[in-house]
A = this chain, B = another copy of it.
Amino acid sequence: MNDLIIIGAGPAGITASVYAARKRMNFLVITGDIGGQTILSSDIENYTGYQFITGVELAQRFKEHLEQFELELKEGERVTLVNKENDIVKVGTDKGEYQAKTVIIASGRIPRKLGVEGEDEFKNRGVTYCATCDAPLFSDMDVVVVGGGNSALDATLQLIKIAKKIYLVDVTDKLRADPIMVEKAKGSGKVVIYNSAKVKQISGDKLVQGIKIEREGKVEDLTVGGIFIEIGYVPTSEFIKDVAKNEIGEIIVNCRCETNISGIFAAGDVTDVPAKQIIVACGEGAKAALSAFDYISRLK
């Protein structure tokens, strides 16, 4: 019987693993990938201790940190069910079932879809959810970024160095990103901001060729080669039914990363902690592991 199963190996899951390993817990990690959303960030300047690091580099550091410890890692396995019966947590995956005294759900979240015609059809043919991965493909082209938060501005700032012109299309009337990012975008001379604007359709032939935008009742067609969708995320929490969640499916935790079910902990972007930041997810992962250790040490 494992002490602990950690679901996910992004910043929260990796930090939980580091703490669990140092506590000599008997645990396994089940994850689709290693590094989580970290890899989607381009330039990270707010991970304390690193003045500047790319998402890819930081994810690599995280991975190396994880690999320093001897642990049982189930990589590429998808969790389908988590429940607790008779003080045992059962974690079902597409490849088997595992049992433990505790579980830490650190499964993160995935990008939200726009839900318009052409989005699925042109996915990876001009439509992308990852500027860090795909921006270099759009050299000297006109592109659209959809969204108005930090992710959208992050994508925009990356694209300034690469694309010819960037239309920033946001459904609200004021960008919500950090002012410093908005200023940089505006100062570039390459960014056209469309506030209170809605994407109606994505079109093309083999690749994306255009996007239809509605603004103040008027419809406009923009000729673009790339569309970066940065409109938020969906928490990866569908595999657990019993635990309390908020209205958007985030798992509700207290300051010890405890859920409403004893022995089930959660950390990072899958939770209702509002700050979705790498450094915060790391801190929450540490808390969750320490709480799980504490819980087990009090079990009869």
Contact = CB atoms under 8 A, between A and B. Distances in A.
A interface, size bucket: 35 or more
A283 interface: yes
Number of copies: 2
A189 interface: no
A151 B180 CA distance: 40
B49 A47 contact: yes
Given A255-B253, A280-B286, A282-B283, A14 B48 contact: yes
A261 interface: no
Nearest to A58: B49
**Could you say which of A15, A65, A275, A281 has the most chain B C-beta atoms within 10 Å of its C-beta?**
A275
A46 B275 contact: no
Interface in A24-55: 24, 45-51
A52 to B, nearest CB: 9
Interface in A244-276: 253-256, 272-275
Given A46-B19, A48-B11, A49-B58, A277 B273 contact: no
A240 interface: no
A18 B283 CA distance: 16
Interface of A: 11, 14-15, 18-19, 22-24, 45-51, 58, 61-62, 64-65, 68, 178-180, 253-256, 272-275, 277, 279-287, 290
Given A24-B180, A255-B255, A281-B283, 7 more contacts: A18-B45, A19-B46, A23-B179, A23-B180, A49-B49, A277-B290, A280-B287
